Each structure stands twice: as C-alpha cells, then as structure tokens.
Amino acid sequence: MKIIILFLFVSLPIVVFAQDGEKILLQGKITNEKDVEGIHILNRSSRYNSVTDPYGNFAITVKQGDTLLFSSVHYSPYEAEVTAEIFERGLLIVSLIELVNELDEVILGPDLSGNLQADLEKIEVKDPVNFQDLGLPGFTGTPQEKIVPVATAFFPTNVNIEAVYKHLSGYYRKLRLRRKWDAENLAVASMIDFYTPAFLDEVYGIPEDRVYDFVLFCVESTTIESEFYAGRYDNVLSEFQSKSLLYLDRMAEKKE
C-alpha cells in the first residue's frame, strides 16, 4: 500500500505558482529567417529593454502579466503578454510579421521655374514615415540609410532631389537623433544585461525599477559607453560608484 501511494504522489504533475511580483530573466528567440539582429524588446510594464543578437536570441527581466513590445524597421510592432505558462517555462518564442514600406511616388510637374526652392515647394510629398508612430524606439537596420552631405545634395550639375528634400524637411536631423538614441539604448541594454539589475541594486543602491534610467544617465554624462565596449570594466564600476551618489541624491530631493 505504501508503495502504491508513493507512486501516485510522484506521478502527479507538479504545479509551481509564481509569487506576486517575482521576477525572472526570460529567455526568448525570434524565429524569422532574416533580419533578426537588433530587434528591440521593451517591457511596457517595467521599462526594461533588450535587443536581439545576430541569431534572434534575447533575454529580458519580466514578471508574470508584463507586456513585451517587439519593434524593428523590418517587422510590424508586436505585443506579447507574459502569461503564467510563459513565466513558468521561462521561454518565449516569437514570429514577427514582415513590414513592407514603399516610397511614395514624387511627380515633378512641367511648370518648373528653375528656382530650386520655389519648385520644391510646389512638389506634393507626403510626410516621411515616422518610426515612432509605428511603435519603434528608434532607427535600426543593416545597412543604415546613408545621409547625403549638404554640399553633395545641392551640387549644381547633379541636384539630388530626394536628399535636398530630406535636408529641408529636417528628416536627416531627426535620423541622426534616432541613431544617437539607438546607440545609447543598445549600450544601456548591454550593460544592464552584463551587470544585472540585482547587482546594481545591491552594490550601488539603485532600485531595480530605476536601473534603466540610472544607466542611461551614466551613458549621457560620462564616457562609460566607450569604457564598457573597450573592456575597461574597472572604469565602468568607478563611474557607477560616483554617479550613483549623485543620482540617489537627486532621487531624494524629488521625494522631498
């Protein structure tokens, strides 16, 4: 009888219930066959970020019930909820829908005056695609769109109409800002993944829900990004130490 009871006990499925607020490092993979590197993953609930590697793999800190936003230049934005099943497995497999963007046709009318500025104002051109309207955190892609220098765009013997328009409309300026944000976001995500939020909380007292903001503050105000990529980790920790004191002081002032 004892043997039968023991067998029944061992055979029963074991159900693990996640405690409220418990966090895990969720592993994931994008299963699309191409353009799987550099896809952004944003945890809408906690603001944690991650970026896929060349093989479409990623890892991001989550808790049950969080919502993850996947965004890329090549794919339509996609949201996935961290269900109890996904949380228990610690694994999320995602297949994204390819996004096809076509350039709007630009038709030059027959009544060109020869005055470039005046003629450009007559051309009907729809507003350029705003990637943030699509839910994308920034411009990514390989290869990147080339920004044509002003001197080349306005070269008298060969005017590049598209480049001229992008300069005049401010498109190139916004593109530079998006790329700068993209680089900073990737650096922040890489450092958080390398050091982990728990380490930054335990060593420097940075609350886990403020880790992203703290590391971004360090990236924008120090040379920590270049130190990290160069493998000078002692310098990175030194910057964390000095900036954490200033950051925590500012947090205290805001609470007061």
For range 213-220, the mean pLDDT: 88
User: Which pLDDT does position 190 carry in this prediction?
Assistant: 87
User: Distance (Å, rounded) from C-alpha 86 to C-alpha 95?
Assistant: 15
Rg (CA), the chain: 25
User: Three-class SS of residue 62?
Assistant: strand
* Contact between residue 40 and residue 79 where contact means Cβ atoms under 8 Å apart: no
User: Which pLDDT does position 119 carry in this prediction?
Assistant: 62
Preceding amide of 128 cis, omega within 30: no
pLDDT higher at 163 or 10? 163
**Non-local CB neighbours of 69 within 8 Å, separated by 6+ positions:** 40, 41, 42, 44, 77, 78, 79, 135
pLDDT digits (tens, 9 = 90+) for 139-163: 454 555 666 565 565 555 566 667 6
The yes-or-no verdict on residue 15 having pLDDT over 50 is no
For range 176-197, the mean pLDDT: 81
- Spans of all domains in the chain: 9-94, 196-255
User: CA end-to-end span of the chain, whole Å?
Assistant: 67
User: Three-class SS of residue 123?
Assistant: coil
Q: Which of 8-17, 97-106, 174-183 has the lowest mean pLDDT?
A: 8-17
Q: Which of 7-21, 25-39, 176-190 has the lowest mean pLDDT?
A: 7-21
**Domain 9-94, classified CATH 2.60.40.4130, yes or no:** yes
Q: Which amino acid is at 13?
A: P
pLDDT higher at 73 or 164? 73
Helix pair angle (197-204, 211-221), 10° resolution: 80
pTM of the model: 0.38
pLDDT digits (tens, 9 = 90+) for 80-134: 999 999 999 899 999 999 876 554 555 555 565 656 566 666 666 555 555 555 5
User: Which pLDDT does position 110 carry in this prediction?
Assistant: 54
For range 210-238, the mean pLDDT: 89
